[in-house]
Amino acid sequence: MAQRFDAIVIGTGQSGPPLAVRLGKSGRKTAVIERASFGGTCVNVGCTPTKAYVACARAAHVARHAADFGVQIGKGTQPGDVRVDLAFVKARKERIIAASRDGVEQWLRHAPNVSVFKGHARFTGAHTVRVAAHDGAQVDLEAPEIFINTGTRALIPAIPGVETIRYETNSTLLALEQLPEHLAICGGSYVALEFAQMFRRFGSCVTVLVRGQRVLAREDEDYSRAVQDVLAREGVEFRFGAEPRSVAPLDGQTGVRIALDSGPLDVSHLLFATGRLPNTDDLGLEAAGIERDAHGLIAVDGQLRTRVQGIWALGDVNGRGAFTHTSYDDFQIVAANLLDGKSRTADTRIPAYAVFVDPPLARVGMSEREVRERGKPALIATMPMSRVGRARERGETDGFMKALVDPQTQRILGAAIFGIEGDEAIHTFIDTMTADAPYTTLQYAMHIHPTVSELVPTLLDGLKPLK
């Protein structure tokens, strides 16, 4: 006999745990199922560990440039003498992860009306789920409300010979305790560039293989070029139009030989950062009558409901935004509609994200390219980060800001900041756009000096027609 619940939450990423706790507090008897590590991708192999690595890489970078600030590190020390202990970096990362992961698990296990099940969940019907534990035990659960929050995993391209080599993903690369001598990275987007910079700063030789002709192909070209220039200056090598034709293990070595049109490239490690796959292929969705699209995503409406009554899909699996913050916002949308008697939808959500290279690139709303493609009349303003006092004082003047405004409504269409603390300063735009306030609200705001955000009103003072 199946155990009866009021609600079942499958997966403990950013949406699942807070939703389960809210469901329990509402009086619903709630089951939470996790087959691997509590906290999902972000806590275990995504945001938390990579940003811990970014912090260590930045420390190494600052140490190498300490002399620029009049700081001497040890008598006779040369900038190139800085060394990174990857085993220590990994151990530090593991401590941070463990605290977050354990915190999520204990939160759920002590939440009222919440029961935790460890194992792999598969639908056996529209409102029934079987949980297979690692020890072989099985338990059947049923509930009128089921929430899918199973996240994604790394996509491995179908390159001839890939099954014969050792390759890395964002997960396995974080498990290394010895620095790669030469790391090749397939991909030119967010994950690829973050790992490229951090491992170059750790001391590895890094080559980025980009299928197209520029990195960050979805961004405005001026931003993608600026990011590439910063990483290239730090020693990252870029090869464009470089799509591996095949891969093979190096004789007598643990490395990889990559066949490119330009000739073979021999490296010690190969990282695939070529996209993500939704974890929806082994959930038994067909038994519930839930369809997936060609990419494995589950279709949902603005309230994140699937086509099957009583089943929702949250987080990366629904195609509504593959970011931790969009997943958490999914929780807030479902909770508002289901528990708070409010009406919220993902259809009006303003896209916002950041690429956590150093300095970071942060964006909200439409890009200049998107505005031009839609033929929208607009005002545009740009400003180099060298105008920002905080940037000059810190000796980090790379990058620029850009904002686009609708001249009729005075609403901000979009903005981006590539520069020091841009991932924080962008929230001045996010909040103004969310409030549906005119750009003048931000333009006339008094910001604290000396900060990056204080130059946002000055940026908006320079708005001119987009030509």
Share of residues in the chain with pLDDT > 90 (%): 95
* CATH code assigned to 162-274: 3.50.50.60
| 224: its two tokens | 């993608």
Known binding-site residues for NAD(+) equal 187-194, 275
152-154/120-125 β-pairing: unpaired
Q: 301-334 in b/e burial notation, b at 16+ Cβ within 10 A?
A: eebbbbebeebbbbbbbbebbbbbebbbbbbbbb
For the chain, what are the domain ranges? 3-43+92-153+277-348, 162-274, 352-465
Say how many CA atoms lie within 13 Å of 296 toward its Cβ.
17
Residue type at position 147: F
Known binding-site residues equal 51, 187-194, 275, 316
Residue 244: which pLDDT band, with cuts at 50, 70 and 90?
very high
The predicted structure's pLDDT at residue 252: 74
Known binding-site residues for FAD equal 51, 316
361-365/352-355 β-pairing: antiparallel
Q: What is the mean pLDDT of residues 286-291?
A: 97
pLDDT, tens digit, for every residue of 315-353? 999 999 999 999 999 999 999 999 999 999 999 999 999
**CA–CA separation, 280 and 111 (whole Å):** 27
- Kindly tell me if the per-residue pLDDT of 77 is higher than 70: no
Candidates 65, 110, 295, 449; catalytic one: 449
Q: Do domains 3-43+92-153+277-348 and 162-274 have the same CATH topology?
A: yes
Nearest to 356 by CA among 53, 92, 63, 145: 53
pTM of the model: 0.95
Residue 254: which pLDDT band, with cuts at 50, 70 and 90?
confident
Q: What is the mean pLDDT of residues 217-225?
A: 97
Q: What is the mean pLDDT of residues 362-390?
A: 97
Q: Is 449 a catalytic residue?
A: yes
Q: Is 293 helix (H, G, I), strand (E, B) or coil?
A: coil
Which of the 8 DSSP states describes residue 139? E
Q: CATH topology for 352-465?
A: Enolase-like; domain 1 (3.30.390)
- Kindly tell me if the per-residue pLDDT of 427 is higher than 70: yes
Q: What is the mean pLDDT of residues 406-419?
A: 98
pLDDT, tens digit, for every residue of 22-52? 999 999 999 999 999 999 999 999 999 999 9
Residues 174, 55 contacting (CB under 8 angstroms):
no
Top-level CATH class of 3-43+92-153+277-348? alpha beta
